[in-house]
Copies of this chain bind each other. A is one copy, B any other.
Amino acid sequence: MLRKEQNDLLTQTGPGTPMGQMFRAYWIPILLSEELPENDCPPVRVKILSERLLAFRDSEGRLGLIDEFCAHRGVSLWFGRNEEAGLRCPYHGWKYDVNGQCVDVPSEPAESGYCKKIKLKSYPLIEKGGVVWAYMGPADKRPPEPAWEFATVPEKNRFVSKRLQESNWLQAMEGGIDSSHVSWLHRGDLAHDPLFKGARGNQYNLGDARPVFEVVESAGGLYIGARRNAENGQYYWRITPWVMPSFTMIAPRGNHSVHGHFWVPIDDENCWTWSFDYHPIRELTDSEVTAMRGGKGIHVTYVPGSYRPAANKDNDYLMDRAAQKAGRTYSGIAGIAMQDASLQESMGPIVDRTKENLVSTDNGIIMARHRLMRAAKALAEKGTTPPGVDPEHQKIRSVAIVLPADVPYKEGAKEALIAKPGVAPATV
């Protein structure tokens, strides 16, 4: 349970808010590379952290993220012409480069230097791992490039998607931290989803619906360890990292690709759920990629022309009571992603955490919230760089491992929790 002011602190990320300031300390994913497919392609409206911005790729391939609205009279530059190394407002021809610098005001004599005085707000973008990342904080605090393993493996080892989630970012991310719901909400899918079924380890999950959770701090966030009984008095551990501000991973299953999420606020009542699959040492197979594109695993299918899921709150997520009754799905909603999203959206746009009743399996969530609040406070008051900015904090993995009963997982899985190029993930 949180006090109202704590809930406000954690859920509000607009300009000037403490949590907003903290998100602005990181490189955060804002677009798929496919949304800016080529030089001089159409610009894309980007609402992120409650700011209305415009992303574009100029004639030389440079990426820009600038204020959506022209400095002259406020027209949306989404209508602009992306050509000749800049974006030109179609109303009176004012032109901006990728840094938001105005480079032409046609009505003013070039020699007046007027346009030099006009500059739109802009943020740097970089492209890595099929994702366009933005840094929206102070220039002198710009962090090193993101080093998440999914973004650094060869392109064919990876599949990344995003979907609109119509809720605050925090209740979405809390679902990613919370491993304890898997045995309930997703139980039908472990047996049937092509990206989950048939893996070693599932038998432990399905065999023990009451795992014991041990949550410990990591350099960048937390490790959430879920302990189940294995053979011969050993323990089966599924260890899933949370790295600040909002990166989570699912523990691996056999030789399957590993999955994870990034949760990015659009505004306080909507967020992007980024979903990635990758394998550190092999390419994804055609059938895996086909399944991912088809909305299997943690991915979804969309309302055409959008990144809004085809199953959404307007159609009650295509609830299928017969499937629920028959146990084909546990909640009646198809697909792991929408099983999570439907419930998280059902909590309301911003869940009221003054009313919740948390139990021991929520320790990961409790500790993450406190770590977020501590870091936001340290950043606001002392300028302390928050955990997770350091690329070393990002080079982590989830782990599924059987350990002797007397070995703490942070020790027994120590090496396995570090992302190492060319090294296979630890799975049973």
Contact = CB atoms under 8 A, between A and B. Distances in A.
What secondary structure prevails in chain A residues at the interface with B?
loop
Contacts of A352: 74
A358 B93 CA distance: 14
Contacts of A118: 357
Interface string A123-140: 000000000000000000
Interface residues of A, number: 56
Contacts of A229: none
A339 to B, nearest CB: 8
Interface string A74-108: 11101111000000001111000000000001111
Contacts of A405: none
A80 B319 CA distance: 11
Contacts of A106: 184, 209-210
Contact of A79 (B72, B333, B357): B333
A297 B92 CA distance: 20
A278 interface: no
A361 interface: yes
25 contacts: A71-B355, A71-B356, A72-B356, A72-B357, A72-B358, A73-B171, A73-B356, A74-B348, A74-B351, A74-B352, A74-B355, A75-B344, A75-B347, A76-B343, A80-B331, A81-B324, A81-B330, A81-B331, A90-B185, A90-B343, A91-B184, A91-B185, A92-B184, A92-B185, A107-B180
Interface of A: 40, 42, 69, 71-76, 78-81, 90-93, 105-108, 114, 118, 171, 174, 180-181, 184-185, 209-210, 319, 321, 324-325, 330-333, 339, 342-344, 346-348, 351-352, 355-362
